[in-house]
Structure 1
């Protein structure tokens, strides 16, 4: 008898036939989903907030590369906040209305596009630093990076509004029942979005990092063969090169993790495959988990981030002059 009641449990019982039915899930599945998504949300928002505070507070970290990391951390932080809505959807019902549903998807798409754009800018930054180091300081300035980051976010907003414009004319027009949260873009807009938000950026990222990898390997061999004969001035140059290559390696890990986490999600969209609920949940969790992994990568590879973490957690950043602290 209980199974029969669960099968016909509605999102809005008072609406009867027009209400969506809640999917059949065991209490264990629901609780596990809540625990996993809540943990990812808490970790993602907390860790990325620490990255944002660190780069914003300490003046030594005001570099073009770190400004790009700041943009990525901001997008990842908002991904964490938006996961609260994903937690609300665990029981299969949307209770916040059709307009809020459309706004949720719009924000989600904007943040995802800005995140992809930030990864592309990071790849370009590392490409110039490794492949054209002599002109890096003149080509990549803080002002230019700030402009590029602003353009990235502005273009993401405008583009995604255009993609979802039909959904704002009549919010909820594509819902098959009350309690559903669905947005739909026409075929051309969806195809353009896929190319602009995934295929194009991923192609650029892979090509640039392949080039960076080849140059980095050749530079490493050159440094190894001449390491014994360098002067003091040469040692400084070698150290600088090693620093740039370490940054490239670290950000390369960020890029690889990004591709691993996002490719399954976009592959499903590209092939238009319908997944079973377990597979769909895994793909979505992997997509969101990427935003949690980036700060963990910084903590593992960047000593300055670990030092900042200690200063922030112990509230030493509240002391006068703490922004001038030597953390590099």
Structure 2
């Protein structure tokens, strides 16, 4: 398949995004997704960094997720709405510069490295919730702001390394075309399998393991709280107790409970203070992960199937639909935060009281 006389058929998505005959309607959808992604993720970053009380480890990773998605949204607009794939601009008299453009931009390496960084960061966010809920002591000891920053950098490294093949297989040929013509079918299958594993299999396995473990921890916490109600005390003095269950922690904070209160009231406090915040983050991240799987599963299955059967006609409506569905993932997270994440909603109301209703 040719796109502005540039052979770029290494992946389904590169081709379908960059085709000359892509309809105006499809490009309008790209523009809408890109603008929503930049605006929504920019708003998330503004809220989290404007309010000091929101600068905790979970929100740092969530902010980084928004930063990556904002970058992806911008690259989506620049690379796919106005693609720079004119072969005439690759003057072979300046082979080094032409090769640089070919390997980094025409191959869409920068865009897909950012996409993979977004996926990797989401996996790290999921593991962060696992540590916070299931292993709170390890979480408090090991997961500092410095560790979170290191994890963010690691996400970019993994994203770049996972798509490094595009830089290797693409080059400017003797006709001045950026192509991967020399890539054999076996190589395409390997690249497809690696992408399928990184984009879908690993995130799915991690999400299933983490959220099943968290649900078990919540159930154990509920049983523990029920037993706590049965414990009697003869003391009339006020004291504090440190919560021992994983699901009752919020970030690295420890909250207190007045044992002079009635047992039922103490139990209610145990379940609503740190536990409510933990559960809210859990629900938010769970919805984000499910949304990710909904957006990316059709795309990756179809991509792998077509590489295995050596069918590379990416012009059908089904292909374009799954590509748009995958691309839309960059703009949905801010919407989820607005409706599900209590801390973000409070931040919005605090920063924009005139525009956000108090009932929101």
Please report the RMSD computed on the Cα atoms of aligned residues, expressed in angstroms: 3.4
Q: Partner of 1:70: helix, strand, or coil?
A: helix
CA separation in 2, counterparts of 1:245 and 1:253? 12
Between Structure 1 and Structure 2, the one with more helix by share is 1
Q: Deviations over 1:144-165 (max 9, x none)?
A: 1111111121232234235532
Give a deviation string over 1:42-97, Cα, whole Å, max 9, x none: 111100011122223322122111111112111111121122122236xxx94375
- The CA distance in 2 between the partners of 1:302 and 1:44, in whole Å, is 18
Question: What aligned pairs does 1:121-136 form with structure 2 within 5 A after superposition?
Answer: 121-136=124-139
The residue correspondences of 1:253-264 to structure 2 (distance < 5 A) are 253-264=287-298
Q: CA deviation at 1:225?
A: 7.0
Paired with 2:118 and 2:350, the residues of 1 have a C-alpha distance of 27
* Correspondence list, 1:67-86, <5 A: 67-84=60-77, 85-86=79-80
Q: 1:36 to 1:169 in 2, by over 3 A?
A: closer
Unmatched segments (≥5 aa) in structure 1: 1-9, 13-19, 177-183, 316-328
Normalising by the residue count of structure 2, what TM-score does the alignment of the two structures yield?
A: 0.68
1:64 corresponds in structure 2 to 57
Per-residue deviation, 1:133: 2.8
Distance 2:302 2:103 in 1: 21
Structure-2 separation of matches of 1:77 and 1:175: 33
Out of 292, 308, 323, the position equivalent to 2:347 is 308
User: Take 1:311 and 1:21, find their aligned partners in 2: how far apart are those partners?
Assistant: 45
- Give distance in 2, aligned partners of 1:21 and 1:300: 36
CA distance in 1, matches of 2:192, 2:282: 33
Task: Choose which of 168, 175, 180 in structure 2 pairs with 1:174.
Answer: 180
Q: Which residue matches 2:206?
A: 204
> Cα gap change, 1:42/1:310 in structure 2, threshold over 3 Å: closer, same or farther?
farther
CA distance in 2, matches of 1:56, 1:32: 36
**Equivalent residue for 1:191, pick from 174, 190, 193:** 193
Q: For residues 311 and 147 of structure 1, what CA distance do their matches in structure 2 show?
A: 30
How far residue 39 of structure 1 moved from its aligned partner, in angstroms, is 1.5
Distance 1:11 1:172 in 2: 10
TM-score between the two structures when normalised by the length of structure 1: 0.74
Match of 1:46 in 2: 39
Ranges in structure 2 where 5+ consecutive residues have no aligned partner: 6-17, 91-97, 230-261, 355-360
How far is the alpha carbon of 1:103 from its aligned partner?
2.3
- Once the two structures are overlaid, the 10-residue window that deviates more, 263-272 or 221-230, is 221-230
Q: Say if 1:164 and 1:185, in contact at 8 Å, map to a contact too.
A: no
Q: Which residue does 1:277 correspond to in 2?
A: 316
Matched, 1:297 2:336: yes
Verify the 8 A CA contact 1:166 1:185 in the aligned structure 2.
Answer: no
Which residue is equivalent to 1:141? 144
Distance in 2, matches of 1:112 and 1:11, equals 24
* Structure ID, larger Rg: 2
